[in-house]
């Protein structure tokens, strides 16, 4: 009996040749959810599917888990990288082909997590501008550069900022990409900004449907500043950086009122905006002056887009908008408490563990924030499997069954 168990264990490892991280759970019978159909055919996919179903249904089992793609951009040709990692290489429907989306992706760490994010949101009709934090390591930059060269619609921003949390540099990073995306080469309908630790909760077709509901209006969730956020634009703040530290430092200096009597709104740093609005923020004098005024505010990306979208004559404006748009699922510490996050908190935001999967799948948001592949591989792996299955079921183009993994 002991020898038979050892043989079974050896066979399992052979089947999962690249699986490296062991997660131990107690055995329990799998249950089924009607919302997931789980059609995967390969041996790897069948095992991962069972494991993911267990996690989604709060069951427990014993399994091994991989946390890297089949090929790395650093040691493979672009053809092998794209084919063996099963990237989508043609539009999966006419509707998607006619509704290209631009993505602004700001990165500073977690290259393997970013790889998974890009593979999941990638479609050949879309365009992807990548801003790399100027403080990132040389190895990190080289990895992104190698990846970029494999795709004609993926490019690195023409200018890179040393991004400081809550500083003007975070807003500048987005604006550099927005400027690069405004060339005639890229004819997109909406631009969506992401960080490298976001992950989509919808397929590309579902994102297209979500955006179409707004009929060209910009999605910038927010409202007038609550009392606890007033200080962000009332006083002057400065970015500070040396070899060891980078942070935003507050002062007691009062700021002048906003230019053009603009009413400041406060909200999410994440948005989905029309091409016309992108041109507006780069050329309109009010937008340019607001950017200059925002230079010494705290976290200006959380008021800049929201405020400009409330100007009634801005392209795609929503002057009466509040928090609609459902762009992000985020577990905040003050809302969910210490036990509400099954991973861990960073700056009061939950890094999702596998125990957060049921909560994530109950939400209707477009993206979720945040993930770390190395810390909690099953969370991201299972979401990707579910999304890739939904993508397959929605596709109007034939896809090889081996595409699953």
Q: Which residues belong to the active site?
A: 302
- CA torsion 312-313-317-323 (nearest 10°) is -20
Q: Is the dihedral of CA 329, 276, 132, 103 positive or negative?
A: positive
In the three-class reduction of DSSP (H, G, I as helix; E, B as strand; rest coil), residue 329 is classed as strand
Beta bridge partners of 398: none
**Contact at 8 Å (CB) between 322 and 285?**
no
Name the nearest CA neighbour of 385 among 45, 124, 109: 45
Query: Is the separation of the CB atoms in 170 and 248 below 8 Å?
Result: no
C-alpha span between 90 and 93 (Å, rounded)? 9
Strand-strand pairing, 127-132 and 154-156? parallel
Please choose, from the candidates 184, 182, 205, 367, the residue with its C-alpha nearest in 3D space to the C-alpha of residue 277: 182
Selection from 154, 114, 149 nearest residue 130 by Cα: 154
CA atoms within 13 A on the CB side of 221: 12
Residue 299: burial class (beta carbons within 10 Å; 0-12, 13-18, 19+): buried
């Amino acid at each position: 009996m002991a020898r038979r168990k050892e043989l079974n264990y050896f066979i399992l490892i052979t089947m999962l040749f690249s699986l490296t991280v062991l997660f131990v759970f107690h055995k329990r019978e799998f249950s089924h959810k009607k919302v997931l159909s789980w059609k995967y055919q390969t041996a790897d996919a069948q095992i991962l599917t069972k494991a993911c179903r267990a996690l989604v249904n709060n069951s427990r089992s014993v399994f091994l888990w991989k946390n890297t793609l089949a090929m790395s951009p650093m040691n493979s040709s672009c053809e092998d990288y794209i084919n063996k990692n099963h990237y989508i290489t043609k539009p999966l429907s006419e509707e998607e082909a006619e509704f290209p989306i631009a993505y602004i992706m700001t990165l500073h760490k977690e290259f393997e997590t970013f790889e998974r994010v890009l593979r999941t949101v990638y479609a050949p009709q879309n365009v992807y501008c990548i801003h790399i934090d100027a403080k990132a390591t040389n190895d990190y930059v080289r990895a992104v550069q190698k990846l970029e060269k494999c795709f004609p619609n993926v490019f690195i921003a023409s200018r890179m900022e040393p991004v400081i949390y809550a500083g003007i540099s975070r807003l500048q990073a987005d604006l550099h990409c927005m400027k690069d995306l405004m060339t005639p080469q890229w004819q997109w309908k909406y631009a969506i900004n992401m960080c490298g630790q976001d992950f989509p909760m919808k397929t590309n077709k579902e994102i297209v449907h979500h955006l179409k509901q707004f009929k060209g209006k910009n999605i910038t969730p927010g409202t007038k500043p609550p009392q606890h956020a007033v200080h962000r634009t009332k006083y002057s703040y400065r970015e500070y950086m040396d070899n060891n530290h980078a942070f935003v430092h507050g002062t007691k200096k009062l700021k002048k009122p906003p230019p053009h009597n603009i009413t400041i709104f406060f909200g999410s740093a994440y948005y989905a905006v029309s091409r016309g609005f992108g041109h507006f923020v780069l050329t309109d004098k009010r937008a340019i002056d607001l950017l200059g005024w925002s230079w010494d505010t705290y976290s200006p990306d959380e008021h800049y887009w929201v405020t400009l979208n409330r100007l009634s004559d801005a392209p795609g404006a929503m002057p009466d908008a509040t928090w609609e748009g459902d762009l992000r699922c985020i577990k905040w510490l003050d809302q969910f408490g210490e036990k509400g996050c099954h991973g861990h908190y960073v700056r009061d935001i939950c890094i999702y563990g596998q125990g957060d999967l049921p909560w994530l799948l109950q939400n209707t948001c477009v993206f979720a924030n945040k993930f770390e592949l190395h810390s909690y591989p099953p969370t991201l792996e299972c979401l990707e499997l579910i999304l890739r299955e939904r993508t397959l079921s929605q596709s109007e183009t034939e896809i090889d069954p081996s595409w699953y993994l």
